[in-house]
Amino acid sequence: MDEQYEQENRPVNPRRKKRSKMQEFKERYLPLIITGVAFFFVLIFIGGSISRTVQKKQMDREASIAASEAAEAQKKAWDTEAENILRSAAEKAASYDYEGAIALIDGFSGKLSDYPELQTRRSEFVSAQSAMVAWNDPSAVTNLSFQLLVADPARAFTDATYADSFQNNFVTIGEFSNILQQLYDNNYMLVSLDDIVTTSTDAAGQTVYVAKTFYLPSGKKPLMLTQTNVNYNLYMVDGDGDGIADKDGSGFASRLVVDGSGNIKAEMVDSTGTTVVGNYDLVPILEEFISTHTDFALGDARAVLAVTGNISWEEAVRLTEKWFGPIPHRNVPVRQLPQEPVQTQERRQVVKRPVPLDALFMAFHMCSREHSDYYAFDILSDILSNGRSSRLNRRLVQEQKLFSGIDAYISGTRDAGLLHISGKPSAGVSLEQAEAAVRKELQELQQVAIEEQELEKVKNKFESTQIFGNINYLNVATNLAWFELTGQAEDIDREVERYRAVTAERLKTVAQETFREENSVVLYYEKDK
């Protein structure tokens, strides 16, 4: 009883209040909601990761395909280049221009080791070049001289006034063609006077002729062909005396012309009064013979005429015929210069002269214009000295004041050349100090790759110079002629691309190979005190 009373009358615990709906919600439902939201975000994260993984794989796959396509395109370009080089080199070798053929192969932009045929042909050309025989006696050169050729013997040898003279002093085009064939069959080869002798000045200041050494394939004999009185006199072609070639002439060509294919031909009036163009004189006959017997002459060098500006093809041909048509073709053999041995130690000389200032001259052997590394050498020279911000000017002239002026440039075209550095040390600076400062700059090029910004600046400067330079008609004509002479005129459009292709790593490699002490020539040009 007491116990029951006590329970019924026990005071209520104030901390045991009835839970509100909000409390009930927080305790019962909120954890579930939070868990669900967290799970949702986890799902989103996992899905995003999967998506990114798939996307990356897709991008990697596309990049791989693009790289593969680029590599394939590059391989095709190299294959095409190799085919063109092989063809051009074979043409040069056919006329014994082994030096030119080797230079073409060395200029290949791909890896030579990947193209065994190029390597094989190069070895063949090197071997053939080494087998060439030296000649140095001008008296041993056979010289045959001809006047204008008789194109129409029937008229020439019945001429009332000059028949006897024509019989005694002239040969027909048929006889000359037979002579050429006999000379070829007997291993004669055309050379030019410039290959045989050169001019010099003796102690008295008089011009003298000095024999030169030239090279022919083994078994070949040197030959000079000359044509005298190439003036196409009117008396030989003008029968009625009106100053115009006619059918009553003596059967000779009246002038040289260029046909529609760019070939040199001779023009004459035949016995019917018709003007005909063909091989009616020595020059076109010789030209055609050489074109089918390329080994009859050392090379097949010709002049290159470049025409630019607002002029039609027809007008260009007309003016070319007018001014150059009468000039007979002279076959100039390709020079076969002996190769300078590889330099194995530094060459150094001191010269004292009564000059106002000392001067330092340094030179390093480099490749020819036709080699792919030529562009690297050109860029290196610009990095060293092209403008006030170039390295030698900025560091040695402006900052350290070791030089009053300094320059770096390259020389060499189709032959291997030199990278030159020349400068005048400032007052109180010895030539030894000046050289040491230059060597330090060259060592930096050997050891540290050029920063991309510096390299890009030089490339941009070259490109702008190239573009603006070609605005000038004369520059364009000169460049077109050069590229046609050394390959093909279309190469003018690839020049910027070839400079752009030079990398900082390649420049570093070329610098390491070039700026070696044993590859240098140093001249101290001292003031004679």
- Per residue in 437-456, pLDDT (tens digit) is 999 999 999 999 999 999 99
Angle at 477 (CA atoms; ends 474, 482), nearest 5 degrees: 125
Confidence of residue 37 (pLDDT cuts 50, 70, 90): low
Residue 260 above 80 pLDDT?
no
Which residues make beta-bridge pairs with 349?
Answer: 523
Give the model's pLDDT for residue 35.
72
Give the model's pLDDT for residue 192.
77
Portion of the chain with pLDDT greater than 70, in percent? 84
Confidence of residue 307 (pLDDT cuts 50, 70, 90): confident
Which residues make beta-bridge pairs with 361?
Answer: 422, 523
Confidence of residue 15 (pLDDT cuts 50, 70, 90): very low
> Taking the CB of residue 212, how many other CB atoms lie within 10 A of it?
14
Alpha-helix runs per DSSP H in 331-389: 374-384
Portion of the chain with pLDDT greater than 90, in percent? 35
Of residues 492 and 275, the one with the higher pLDDT is 275
Alpha-helix runs per DSSP H in 146-223: 153-156, 163-169, 173-185, 193-196
Mean pLDDT within 347-363: 92
Tokens of 433: 């100090």
How far apart, in whole angstroms, are the C-alpha atoms of residue 152 and residue 280? 9
CA 186 to chain CA centroid, Å, is 37
Give the model's pLDDT for residue 316.
80
Helix (H, G, I), strand (E, B), or coil: what is residue 37?
A: helix
How far apart, in whole angstroms, are the C-alpha atoms of residue 269 and residue 263? 19
Give how far Cα 161 sits from Cα of 232, 235, 306, Å.
Answer: 17, 10, 44
Round the average pLDDT of the chain to a whole number and report it.
83
Q: Which residue has the tokens 């001014």?
A: 323
Confidence of residue 274 (pLDDT cuts 50, 70, 90): very high
- Per residue in 127-171, pLDDT (tens digit) is 888 888 888 888 888 988 888 999 999 999 998 888 888 888 899
Confidence of residue 337 (pLDDT cuts 50, 70, 90): low
Confidence of residue 430 (pLDDT cuts 50, 70, 90): very high
- Total-model pTM: 0.46
Secondary structure in 3-state letters for 100-131? HHHHHHHCCCCCHHHCHHHHHHHHHHHHHHHC
Contact 321/256 with Cβ under 8 angstroms? no
Give the model's pLDDT for residue 328.
58
Confidence of residue 187 (pLDDT cuts 50, 70, 90): very high
User: Which residues are within 8 A (CB) of 446 and not within 5 positions of it... i.e. 6 or more apart?
Assistant: 508, 511, 512, 515
Tokens of 412: 């060499």
Domains, in order of start, for the chain: 34-130 (no CATH), 133-324 (no CATH), 347-527 (3.30.830.10)
Order of strands across the sheet with 520-527?
A: 347-353, 520-527, 359-365, 418-425, 403-411
Contact 408/398 with Cβ under 8 angstroms? no
- Per residue in 385-413, pLDDT (tens digit) is 988 889 999 999 999 999 999 999 998 66
Give the model's pLDDT for residue 448.
94
Helix (H, G, I), strand (E, B), or coil: what is residue 241?
A: coil
Give the model's pLDDT for residue 302.
47
Instruction: State which of 37-51, 405-419, 466-480 shows the largest mean pLDDT.
Output: 405-419
Count of CA atoms in the C-beta half-sphere (13 A) of 277:
12
Angle at 464 (CA atoms; ends 461, 470), nearest 5 degrees: 135
Closest CA to 196 of 145, 129, 143, 136: 136
Q: What one-character-per-residue DSSP string does 435-478 give? A: HHHHHHHHHHHHHSPPPHHHHHHHHHHHHHHHHHHTTSHHHHHH
Mean pLDDT within 92-115: 84
Mean pLDDT within 514-524: 95
Q: Which residue has the tokens 């300094």?
A: 406
How far apart, in whole angstroms, are the C-alpha atoms of residue 273 and residue 240? 13
